[in-house]
């Protein structure tokens, strides 16, 4: 598998999954179930997962695949793999708030190197090109024709007036206490992996996550942010966030433009 092979496949699968998700999102009603970890799952999660995982296995049968909605994949181990969250921000989907995304990433040697984040309700798509540069594609977002591509890059952060983004569904006092260590000009909330993309485009400088996440929640956004010049570090010691961890669970982390003067936890 080469990057030139990978990128068109994950772009197309993300768009196809987005169409399936929006078909269910726009329906009069959709069922919500609760998984063993008490998180919600809908028919849209399951349909998007089936479409993406089938497509990836057909295109890259020799590459390990980890996907949120297939529990048996969570016991696989390795440091190089494809990882999928077919619908990140299920709570946003259920409440029809639009801040949900399709996420597909390639992790190599524990590092997310390529990925796509697609927000179908917002008509925004971000991905890494084969050369590693992250872009936002605009226009009709057609599965068969690539639209206008704009390279994206992180801000030149002003530490006297930072732009902070935090979780819409999981913001808590610990998050606010950490944010208060900075000189903040503006703070906004966003759901799902869009927070990484807002830093990647320079619309925000800092995203601290003091709460539970899994690698499939973050890998694609992490790859997009890296390809735009940003970084993701552990909350505790500011070392790079690595992937392929036991159970695919993340520690607390901080995503940032590199000009941010990081504060201690």
Q: Where are the domains of the chain?
A: 3-151, 162-256
pLDDT one-digit tens code per residue, 167-223: 876 778 899 999 999 999 999 988 889 999 999 999 999 999 999 999 999 999 999
For 193-255, the DSSP string reads: THHHHHHHTTS-SEEEE-S--BHHHHHHHHHHHHHTT-EEEETTT-PBP-SS-GGGB---EEE
Max Cα distance, the chain (Å): 50
Q: Tell me the CATH architecture of domain 162-256.
A: 3-Layer(aba) Sandwich (3.40)
As annotated, the binding site for Mg(2+) includes: 68, 85, 87-88, 217
- What is the chain's mean pLDDT, rounded? 94
As annotated, the binding site includes: 68, 85, 87-90, 217
Q: Whole-angstrom Cα distance, residue 127 to residue 136? A: 7
As annotated, the binding site for substrate includes: 68, 87-90, 217
pLDDT given at position 38: 65
Q: Say if strands 253-256 and 206-209 run parallel, antiparallel, or are unpaired.
A: antiparallel
Superfamily name and number for 3-151: Fructose-1,6-Bisphosphatase, subunit A, domain 1 (3.30.540.10)
- pTM (two decimals): 0.94
């Amino acid at each position: 598998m080469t990057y030139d092979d990978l990128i068109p496949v994950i772009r197309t699968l993300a768009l196809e999954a987005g169409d399936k998700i929006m078909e269910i999102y726009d329906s009069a009603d959709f069922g919500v179930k609760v998984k063993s970890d008490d998180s919600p799952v809908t028919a849209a999660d399951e349909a998007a997962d089936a479409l993406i995982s089938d497509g990836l296995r057909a295109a890259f049968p020799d590459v390990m695949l980890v996907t949120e909605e297939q529990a048996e994949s969570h016991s696989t181990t390795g440091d190089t793999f494809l990882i999928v969250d077919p619908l990140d921000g299920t709570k946003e989907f259920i409440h029809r708030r639009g801040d949900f995304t399709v996420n597909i990433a390639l992790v190599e040697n524990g590092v997310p190197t390529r990925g796509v984040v697609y927000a179908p309700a917002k008509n925004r798509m971000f991905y890494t090109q084969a050369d590693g540069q992250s872009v936002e594609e605009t226009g009709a977002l057609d599965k068969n024709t690539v639209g206008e591509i704009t390279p994206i890059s992180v801000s030149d952060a002003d530490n006297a007036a930072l732009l902070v983004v935090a979780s819409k569904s999981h913001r808590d006092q610990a998050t606010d206490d950490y944010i208060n260590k900075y000189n903040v000009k503006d703070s906004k909330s966003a759901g799902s992996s869009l927070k990484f993309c807002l830093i990647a485009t320079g619309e925000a400088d800092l995203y601290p996550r003091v709460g539970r996440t899994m690698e499939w929640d973050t890998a694609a956004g992490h790859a997009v942010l890296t390809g735009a010049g940003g970084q993701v570090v552990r909350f505790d010691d500011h070392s790079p966030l690595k992937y392929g961890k036991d159970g695919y669970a993340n520690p607390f982390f901080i995503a940032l433009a590199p000009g941010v003067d990081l504060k201690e936890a």
